[in-house]
Structure formats: C-alpha cells, structure tokens
Amino acid sequence: MSEVFQKQLGAATRYCAVFGHPIKHSASPAMQNAGLAALGLDWRYLAFEVHPDNLREAIAGAKVMKFLGLNLTVPHKLLAVDMVDVLDESAKTWGAVNTIRFEARGKNDDWQPLQSFEDSAPVQIRTHGFNTDASAITRSLREDLALELSGKKVLLLGAGGAGRTAGLKLAAEKVSELFLVNRTTAKAEVLVAEIRQRFPQVKVSVGYPDEKIDLLLNATSLGLKPDDGLPLDETKFPLSRASAVYDMIYRPAETPLLKQAKAAGCRVANGLGMLLYQGAQALEIWTGRPAPVAIMRAALLKEVYGN
Ligand code: ATR
C-alpha cells in the first residue's frame, strides 16, 4: 500500500483497472495507486481476473460503471484490438491494445476523457485503445542502459507477443541491423518477413551474429522459473560480444542471463523499467497530467522486491 495519503473510498471515487488471466501477481495496482494518490486524485486502480471469453463483456461492464480507464495484460492485448471503438495510432502501429481510455461526447461534439464530466452524466461513452508497451521499451533502454537505438546492432531473443512488439519497435527506431533468434525458427522467420516489409531500410536476419553487437534483448520467457537455463546458446554467441544486455523479465531481479552478462562485463538492466514506463504513460493518458514516475518506481520496487 502506498504511504501517500489516500482518502477513504466513497461514492465519488472513480476507478481504473487491469484485466488479465492470470492477474494475481500483477504489480500494477501498487504502482498505479501510488501514482494516483501522489496526484491527489480520488481514484483507485483495481485488478480483475478476466477470462478471454469474457473480455468484451468485462470492458462493457467497466464502461457502464463509468470506469475511467483500463489496462489489459496477457492474454488480452491482441483480442482487444477488435473490441474498442477507436484505435489510437500507437495501437494501430503495434497491433495491440494495453490501455483503454473511456471517453464521452462533450458539448462541442468532441470526445473528452470521462473524468472531465464529473458533474454531468454523459450518455454516449466510447472506448479508445492505446499501446504504451512499445514506447516503454525505448524509454527503458534509454534511461536504464543509456542506449539510443538508432544505428545500433541488436540481437533479439524471442518471437512471441513481446518479441514481435520489440522487433518492430527496434526497427522503427532505425537500428542498423537486427538479428533474431527463437526456439521455433519458423516464428522468427514470420517476424523477419513482417519487419522487412514494414521497415525495408533495416537489415534483419534469423540467427546469431558473428560480430560484436550493441544490445542483446531477451523477450523470451526463459528465466522466469528458478531452474530455467539461458535463453541463448553461448557456444554460438558468447555474451562478451554484447555491450549491453536487457532482459524483459523483472522477476527475479537477476535472471541467469543477467548474471552471466554482468560477469562477462556487459551493462545490464531488467524489465522493471518497461513495466514502469508503460504504466506511467497509461496514467498520463487517463489523467492528462505528468505521471509521478519516481513515486511509481518506488512503489513498484517495494511491491516486486520488497525494498
Ligand atoms: P509473450 O507474450 O511474453 O511474448 P509468448 O507469446 O508465449 O509470450 O512468447 C514466449 C516466447 O518465449 C517465445 O519466443 C517462445 O519461443 P517459441 O516461439 O519457440 O515458443 C519463448 N520460449 C518459451 N519457453 C521457451 C523455452 N523453454 N525455450 C526457449 N524459448 C522459450
């Protein structure tokens, strides 16, 4: 619970929430409630276990109960693309929705965030879908590894949902060369084809590089479980060839990959920054105000690592 003072819940309290399946380990409520309290808002952020079969109804339920915003996590981000009324450019570009803002028609027939209708009861409400995951990748790399992607060589591990967003975002940021490795090679090939088609200026291939690279990015789930091994084959790519290593996993704080990378002399960071920045941007989308990032980070560290 945040140490920042929060008013008691009342009839005027407004709600945001995260929907996921599973959801009970989500650190977002701790982070977002700390942010909301620091902004002095009588809002709360809740977490709900929502089965994908019920996602459409759950969004509709939040809408009629005048929730202000939603986050969506695994496995809802792709499904929601077809469930919101309008897609922001970010959601169109990355093909996934992780943030929804509820909006109502204002006096001038324009759509305004629902929070600006405190005293009236808007009739027509719409859902507006955004993606804050992709920009969180670049922000975290910049702030946690002091890395600007333009012109850099990157090895990306993983071609699932997180790997796809990362690969496309890296290409959009104009990396010079992208190497893709995935357990199921066919999936890496599909992603390579999509990147080539959308970002023809980026050199992209399947397989390990023979040369030194600026960044190795793990977007696989290997490292989450205690006995997981490394997500790469060190005989094919020794970690000493990477200047920096980023693991999207943040629990545990130090995965076997990050431990080995540190020992090999690489700069390292885990994925907590991504979680933080996607949440900070979502909060800004709902409130229209700058997110209190330092407070949200402290709440996240306490929730996830107990410090
Ligand atoms: P997410 O949304 O987190 O990306 P996902 O779409 O299920 O989740 O993708 C999981 C990623 O981790 C994939 O790249 C997956 O490889 P496959 O495409 O071959 O399934 C990778 N992954 C999961 N378990 C793995 C394992 N034991 N060894 C290697 N890669 C693994």
- What residues contact 15, with CB distance under 8 A and at least 6 apart? 43, 44, 45, 46, 62, 65, 67, 68
pLDDT of the residue at 5 = 61
As a whole number, mean pLDDT of residues 215-240 equals: 97
Pocket test for ligand 1, best of 79, 94, 156, 220 (most atoms within 8 A of CB): 220
Pocket test for ligand 1, best of 168, 191, 221 (most atoms within 8 A of CB): 221
Share of the chain above pLDDT 70, in %: 97
CATH class (in words) of the domain with range 135-270: alpha beta
Q: Report the Cα 91 to chain-centroid distance in Å.
A: 12
Query: Tens digits of per-residue pLDDT, 253-274?
Result: 999 999 999 999 999 999 999 9
Residue nearest ligand 1's atom 27 by CA: 222
- What residues contact 113, with CB distance under 8 A and at least 6 apart? 68, 101, 102, 103, 286, 288
Asked if residues 45 and 28 have their Cβ atoms less than 8 Å apart, the reply is: yes
Give the DSSP H/E element, type plus range, for residue 139: helix 133-145
Distances (CA, A) of 48 to 29, 58, 224: 10, 9, 23
Query: Tens digits of per-residue pLDDT, 26-70?
Result: 999 999 999 999 999 999 999 999 999 999 999 999 999 999 999
As a whole number, mean pLDDT of residues 84-97 equals: 97
Query: Tens digits of per-residue pLDDT, 204-224?
Result: 999 999 999 999 999 999 999
- Which option is the CATH number for 14-131+276-305: 1.20.1440.230, 3.40.50.300, 3.40.640.10, 3.40.50.10860? 3.40.50.10860
Tokens found for residue 94? 């990355």
Atom of ligand 1 nearest to the CA of 159: 14
Tokens found for residue 6? 């929060």
pLDDT of the residue at 307 = 80
Closest CA to 43 of 31, 35, 51: 35
Closest CA to 164 of 140, 195, 141: 195
pLDDT band at 106 (very low <50, low <70, confident <90, very high): confident
Domain assignments of the chain as residue spans, ordered by start? 14-131+276-305, 135-270
In the reported structure, the alpha carbon of residue 158 is separated from the centroid of ligand 1 by a whole-number distance in angstroms of: 6
From the candidates 7, 66, 77, 203, which is the catalytic residue? 77
In the predicted model, what is the mean pLDDT of the chain?
95
Fold match, 14-131+276-305 / 135-270 = yes
pLDDT band at 122 (very low <50, low <70, confident <90, very high): confident
Instruction: Tell me, yes or no, if the pTM score tops 0.85.
Output: yes
- For the chain, how long is the longest CA-to-CA vector? 65
Tell me how far apart the alpha carbons of residues 39 and 295 are, in angstroms, rounded to a whole number.
10
Ligand 1 binding pocket (C-beta < 6 A) is: 74, 158-163, 182-184, 187, 219-222
